[in-house]
Chain A
């Protein structure tokens, strides 16, 4: 039979697979999307699809001090986390890539630990420590904790890129008269800019979405957005949640799209990625 017919037959025989996969993909994607129309609902019931539409909950959100302050706080914390985690994680990735190959798995494991240990434990333990040094309910405390949680992501992203980076360039720069710092700034940074931005975005998002740690160590005047949302969902569901959720989903989509865009840029060997 012709190749076209063969391919068609191949696809048809797999139609059950395609169908099942399509259902699963819909299952994965839809829930997060429904919060968007929910935010435009006119009434306070949790009915979906909404019976009538309006912007009332957006207005309520903007009018609410609790929600807007929590949003600003979370965005600030996320920004600070990204600013701290990116240099720390990137320099760790750089150091590991240049260190003896024997050490690499051990170091990577140590830096990946925050992801593998159940977050509830880390949260409780950190709360215990913070309570004794007075860092509970503070911006500093949350930023430090979130930085620790974001570092594995930064390291993973940066180290993946560094595997294709020609480190001999740094030697060439040194011979040409550049001190290690100057060489890093003039040769490495221009080529790794996109990777650093991606890593920063991931760190930002990790902090913004983080729930469990924030539940324990943030509070009072310094409650994060996630803490306010959680308390809300547990006690009495305020329809403003739909607005906040939409906001968070929009930020997620933005970050993921940027990330994919940066990954898919034409791979000009070694150039700015």
Chain B
């Protein structure tokens, strides 16, 4: 599939959009490469879904342009954009069978019956629903309906695929599995995919790049690793993964946290800064001093959360703030009220 129909790049140039007095998108610029899996990630109201709507053609922007490859599609109606889309609640056609749903885009393109049959079978095969052609939609489970929606979206081998939180209606186990299957499908077909979600874990798992959106703009664009390790702002740091923010003070031109000075090189630039601390970066220090250069803190445990695979301890460090740290695997877990010493390796220092 898709060998002679190459994927297209998507160019979002200065897109702005208002709903009444509210500015939902503010001059958004985004280049999505051919064959890339890009996720628009953000909380509700961030504008991610509106951007997808504009890419689909259901709304026009107030300003800016959208390009599919070289072609300006900003004002092209949805039925002429030749793309595929998976909707959040699937939007399947209940009066048609599974095969009827999947063949619909092919019918609209005037493809003859024999070729349609072949393509339907291929599409159902790809989504692991071979043989389901004659079933009715209301006989299917949520996960199966989702696959039908997917099959319908890709059957015409579109160069671009849009997905609007397609997994949000599924339960956790199914969702985790489908994430991998969707990614595998993307790799196999090589379609440029724009994926919208508010679930940061989903974004981290599936994407080539993530565009984190907040209040109508892109807060950061980068690979999952970049976004996780080096968040560009407090918002991104907070939105992705678990994080604690410890405010930094200036001392003689250098940044300090509590009494502890950060290594030379971390200078005060006049802006209010915080140290972003992720639970997995904190090391619980045994008594005795190791040699590794670290920032050291001492505080006491004020609560514990059992996570199944680990304990998450809430630690308050006087004059500094509260952090979360992963309890030791195996062995006794520090209890509430216990004093605990934590270390943060220099290479894990992240300032926002």
> Residues of A at under 8 Å CB distance from B?
166, 168-169, 171-180, 182-183, 186-187, 190-191, 268-272
**B142 contacts A by Cβ under 8 Å:** no
Query: Contact flags (1/0) for B60-88 with A, using CB distance below 8 Å?
Result: 00000000000000000111111111010
**B235 contacts A by Cβ under 8 Å:** no
A177-B108, A187-B93, A190-B95 known; A171 vs B138 contact (CB < 8 Å): no
Which chain B residue has the least Cβ–Cβ distance from A170? B91
B87 with A182: CB separation less than 8 A = no
Q: What distance in Å separates the Cβ of B168 from its nearest Cβ neighbour in chain A? A: 14
CB neighbours of B57 from chain A (8 A): 174
B104 is contacted by which of A176, A179, A180, A270 (Cβ under 8 Å)?
A: A176
A269 to B145, CA, bound (A): 14
Enumerate 7 A-B pairs (CB-CB under 8 Å) in ascending A order: A171-B91, A172-B152, A175-B153, A177-B80, A177-B156, A178-B108, A186-B104
For the complex of A and B, the 9 pairs showing the least CB-CB separation, nearest first, are A177-B108, A270-B94, A176-B105, A172-B91, A168-B91, A174-B78, A175-B85, A174-B79, A190-B95
A154 to B138, CA, bound (A): 29
**B89 contacts A by Cβ under 8 Å:** yes
A172 with B85: CB separation less than 8 A = yes
A177 with B94: CB separation less than 8 A = no
Q: In terms of DSSP, what is the predominant structure of the interface of chain B?
A: loop
Knowing that A172-B85, A174-B78 are A-B contacts, what are 5 other residue pairs whose CB atoms are under 8 Å apart, sorted by A's residue number?
A173-B93, A175-B83, A176-B79, A187-B95, A270-B94
Which chain B residue has the least Cβ–Cβ distance from A192? B95
CB neighbours of B91 from chain A (8 A): 166, 168-169, 171-172
CB neighbours of A166 from chain B (8 A): 89, 91
**B177 contacts A by Cβ under 8 Å:** no
A168-B87, A175-B56, A176-B152 known; A271 vs B78 contact (CB < 8 Å): no
A187-B93, A191-B94, A269-B138 known; A171 vs B58 contact (CB < 8 Å): yes
CB neighbours of B307 from chain A (8 A): none
B89 with A168: CB separation less than 8 A = yes
A268 with B82: CB separation less than 8 A = no
Number of residues of chain B lying within 8 A (CB) of chain A: 27
CB neighbours of A179 from chain B (8 A): 77, 79
**B172 contacts A by Cβ under 8 Å:** no
Which chain B residue has the least Cβ–Cβ distance from A272? B95
A191-B94, A271-B94 known; A173 vs B104 contact (CB < 8 Å): yes
A178 with B79: CB separation less than 8 A = yes
CB neighbours of A190 from chain B (8 A): 95
**B109 contacts A by Cβ under 8 Å:** yes
A271 with B108: CB separation less than 8 A = no
CB neighbours of B153 from chain A (8 A): 175
A182 to B153, CA, bound (A): 18
B58 with A182: CB separation less than 8 A = no
A182-B108, A268-B138, A271-B138 known; A175 vs B84 contact (CB < 8 Å): yes
CB neighbours of A270 from chain B (8 A): 94-95, 138
Q: What distance in Å separates the Cβ of A31 from its nearest Cβ neighbour in chain B? A: 42
A174 to B108, CA, bound (A): 10
Q: What distance in Å separates the Cβ of A244 from its nearest Cβ neighbour in chain B? A: 41
A66 to B53, CA, bound (A): 63
Q: Which of A169, A174, A179, A183 has the most CB of B within 10 A?
A: A174
CB neighbours of B95 from chain A (8 A): 187, 190-191, 270-272
CB neighbours of A191 from chain B (8 A): 94-95
Which chain A residue has the least Cβ–Cβ distance from B94? A270
A177 is contacted by which of B56, B58, B93, B109 (Cβ under 8 Å)?
A: B109
CB neighbours of A168 from chain B (8 A): 87, 89, 91
Q: What distance in Å separates the Cβ of A171 from its nearest Cβ neighbour in chain B? A: 6
A187 to B93, CA, bound (A): 7
Q: Which of A172, A178, A182, A270 has the most CB of B within 10 A?
A: A172
CB neighbours of A175 from chain B (8 A): 56, 78-79, 81, 83-85, 153
CB neighbours of B84 from chain A (8 A): 175
A272 to B108, CA, bound (A): 22
Which chain B residue has the least Cβ–Cβ distance from A187? B93
CB neighbours of A187 from chain B (8 A): 93, 95
Q: Which of B79, B83, B92, B109 has the most CB of A within 10 A?
A: B79
B105 with A177: CB separation less than 8 A = yes
CB neighbours of A180 from chain B (8 A): 79
A175 to B77, CA, bound (A): 9
A166 to B83, CA, bound (A): 21
Q: What distance in Å separates the Cβ of B164 from its nearest Cβ neighbour in chain A? A: 10
Q: What distance in Å separates the Cβ of B81 from its nearest Cβ neighbour in chain A? A: 8
Q: What distance in Å separates the Cβ of A214 from its nearest Cβ neighbour in chain B? A: 40
B79 with A177: CB separation less than 8 A = yes
A155 to B105, CA, bound (A): 32
A186 to B95, CA, bound (A): 10
A176 to B148, CA, bound (A): 14
B93 with A169: CB separation less than 8 A = yes
CB neighbours of B94 from chain A (8 A): 191, 268-271
A177 with B82: CB separation less than 8 A = yes
A174 to B93, CA, bound (A): 13
Q: What distance in Å separates the Cβ of A177 from its nearest Cβ neighbour in chain B? A: 3
Q: What distance in Å separates the Cβ of A36 from its nearest Cβ neighbour in chain B? A: 40
Q: What distance in Å separates the Cβ of B267 from its nearest Cβ neighbour in chain A? A: 52
CB neighbours of A269 from chain B (8 A): 94, 138
Which chain B residue has the least Cβ–Cβ distance from A193? B95
Q: What distance in Å separates the Cβ of B274 from its nearest Cβ neighbour in chain A? A: 42
